Amino acid sequence: MKKLIAIVLAAVTPVALFAGCGERGGGQTATYEQVMAKFEGEPEKNVTLKVLDNDIAREQGYFDQLIGAFNEKYAKYGIKAEDANMSQYTDLEKNGPLGYGPDVLYDANDKIMRYAENNHVLALPTEKLEAYGEGKTDSAVTEPYSMNKYGMDLQFGVPINVQTPVMYYLKDTFAKEADADGDGTPDVLETYNALYAYSKGVRANSTVDNPVFGYAQSLNNEYFNFGYLLSYGAYIFGDSTSDIGLANGESYKGLRVIQDLASVMDRDASSDSYTVQAYNSIASGKYRATITTPDVYVKFYNALVDRYVKTDKMEKAAAQKKARENLQVADVPRLPVSGDLKQTITDADSQTFATTMMGGVNGYAISSYTKSPKACLLFVDFASGYEQVVKRATMLGIVPARKDAAEAEGTNAYSRMVYNRVEEGRVQMMPSVRALTSVWASVGSMLSAVTVDVTIEGKGSPKVYATDASLKTLLAKTVEDIKKSMQISS
């Protein structure tokens, strides 16, 4: 036994001593030309690019159109783009170094910038990209793709569409509701207080077997719910990631708003499948209004067309026309200064304020492991060009990140509204730092705690988090949880 211990110790001790041995190189410095060297020269010929786009683009035929058009244009160079046939959640960080990843990928800015931190995506020569031309794209949407590396600011992605929650509803459902300001949005959807009262009434008038909900939104989605906290003064990171502003200002009021909303919502709002259910539930009238991102417009539209064809027995063309007219997208309602949705609003201007929501920018990036960076750049330039972005907006309902495409005729009417919100600073972009994952995890637990308190144990009213002080304590605890988690991640 002693011999065995001696051998084990003899084997393990060197391993324990290895820490920090050897002079290790890293943290290179380079000039702009060196960083962009991979993009110099003629594009690679006779190559096939594996492109990973998101599921909606693939399902709705946009992606086929995109690669078809690209392949036609670059056939003479022998450059061909094809579907990478991978899950849209493929992790380049894990697969890229092994040679399994795509050449070009489409993802949210936080994920692409996570890859950029460890050099998994290439810095892009923006001077060669049409989308980065003067006045084409607002700095608010290019900034999330910017990172200081090698002592200079570099861009690691090309923004394609802006993501931030918007309100979806059917026009005919609210036909009888007043619209005092005549802006086309019913008054009950102008403020969260009105929406809360409306939802309470709608729910009270429905039955257990056929429940109807005035408002529903995913309660376990940190991205959608964080806006309520931001609106009351919270922020994610200050000057550094050690400055976590979750409990800043009156953010506890944001939690109170979430609790009030949860009390009039479907219990399914806390389930993972909520987002998928919402498309059909809006179409069927089970949910009267919901908030989610603009890029799923086509999902609501398809569900509505499906209902008109299958249930209302309409012709497809007529169903499509009606669905387009009936499906509405509006700004998110205003929030009460008091944070109390039960309060009756008499003067919207002084008693409410415009809601700030979390946002993000989806875009294209090029894998550092591609063997054809120049051909990839051609693809990214083509896909982020005016024509393709307008097509993407028309076919999928996205809000284009390009200013000119957002203002183009034929794109969605709500694109301008979203763009205005971005310009007014009412969209806080997701920080493009790795530490964000620690924030999401802990905020998720916090949201679950407050909403379960209302929907389950409290059966309509909070029990554990009934006071402002209890909500403040929860926020402070969540900040500590995030710090602990970041300590582990570091």
User: Three-class SS string for 295-336?
Assistant: HHHHHHHHHHHHHHHHCCCCCHHHHHHHHHHHEEEECCCEEE
Decide whether 111 or 391 has the Cβ nearer to another protein: 111
Q: Cα(406)–Cα(414) distance, rounded to whole angstroms?
A: 9
Stretch that binds another protein, among 27-35, 52-60, 227-235, 293-301 (CB under 8 A): 27-35
C-alpha span between 347 and 91 (Å, rounded): 49
From CA 192, how far away is CA 194, in angstroms rounded?
A: 5
489 binds another protein (CB under 8 A): yes
Any contact of residue 206 with another protein (CB under 8 A)?
no
**The binder of another protein chosen from 46, 118, 284, 311 (CB under 8 A):** 118
The residue with tokens 């990478």 is: 84
Give the separation between CA 390 and CA 343, rounded to whole angstroms.
43
28 and 143 in contact (C-beta within 8 Å)?
no
Binding to another protein by residue 442, rule CB under 8 A?
yes
Task: Please name every residue paired with 152 in a beta bridge, in sequence order, or none if there are none.
Answer: 149
3-state secondary structure of 354: coil
Query: Is residue 38 within the footprint of another protein (CB under 8 A)?
Result: yes
Locus of tokens 């708003």: 257
Residue from 16, 175, 180, 317 touching another protein (CB under 8 A): that is 16
Q: Are strands 327-330 and 166-170 parallel, antiparallel or unpaired?
A: antiparallel
Among residues 57, 112, 122, 365, which is the contact residue for another protein, using CB under 8 A? Answer: 122
Residue type for position 368: S
Q: Shortest gap between Cβ of 359 and another protein (angstroms)?
A: 20
| Residue 360 Cβ vs another protein, minimum distance, rounded to whole Å | 15
Nearer to another protein, 5 or 413 (CB): 5
Query: According to the binding rule CB under 8 A, does residue 425 interact with another protein?
Result: no
Tell me: does residue 471 bind another protein (CB under 8 A): no
123 makes contact with another protein (CB under 8 A): yes
Q: How far apart are CA 261 and CA 374, in angstroms?
A: 50
Q: 401: helix, coil or strand?
A: coil
**Under the criterion CB under 8 A, does residue 410 sit at the interface with another protein?**
no
Please list, in sequence order, all residues whose beta carbon lies within 8 angstroms of the beta carbon of residue 98, skipping any fewer than 6 positions away. Answer: none
Task: Kindly tell me which of 136 and 477 has the beta carbon lying closer to another protein.
Answer: 477
Q: Using the rule CB under 8 A, is 191 a contact of another protein?
A: no
Interface residue with another protein, options 206, 385, 444, 468 (CB under 8 A): 444
Q: Is 5 in the site for another protein (CB under 8 A)?
A: yes
Closer of 203 and 321 to another protein (Cβ)? 203
Binding to another protein by residue 153, rule CB under 8 A? no
Interface positions, 57-86, toward another protein (CB under 8 A): none
**152 interacts with another protein by CB under 8 A:** no
Per CB under 8 A, 204 contacts another protein:
no
Tell me if 223 contacts another protein by CB under 8 A.
no
Residue 302 tokens, joined: 């398809």
User: Taking CB under 8 A as the criterion, which residues in 156-175 touch another protein?
Assistant: none
Q: Is residue 431 close enough to count as binding another protein by CB under 8 A?
A: no
> What HEC string does 458-488 produce?
CCCCCCCCCCHHHHHHHHHHHHHHHHHHHHH
CA distance linking residue 379 with residue 67, whole number of Å: 9
Report DSSP letters for 82-148, one per residue: EE----TT--HHHHTTTT-S-SEEEEEHHHHHHHHHTT-BPPB-GGG-GGGSTTTB-HHHHGGGEEE
Select the residue interacting with another protein from 20, 41, 135, 182 (CB under 8 A): 20
- The length of the chain is 490
φ, ψ for residue 104, nearest 5 deg: -125, 140
Out of 166, 287, 313, 456, name the contact with another protein by CB under 8 A. Answer: 456
Considering the rule CB under 8 A, would residue 381 count as an interface residue with another protein?
no
Residues that bind another protein (CB under 8 A): 2-3, 5-7, 9-10, 14-28, 30, 34-35, 37-38, 89, 91, 93-94, 97, 118-120, 122-123, 149, 208, 220, 267-268, 270-272, 368-369, 434, 437-438, 440-442, 444-445, 448-449, 452, 455-456, 459, 481, 484-485, 487-489
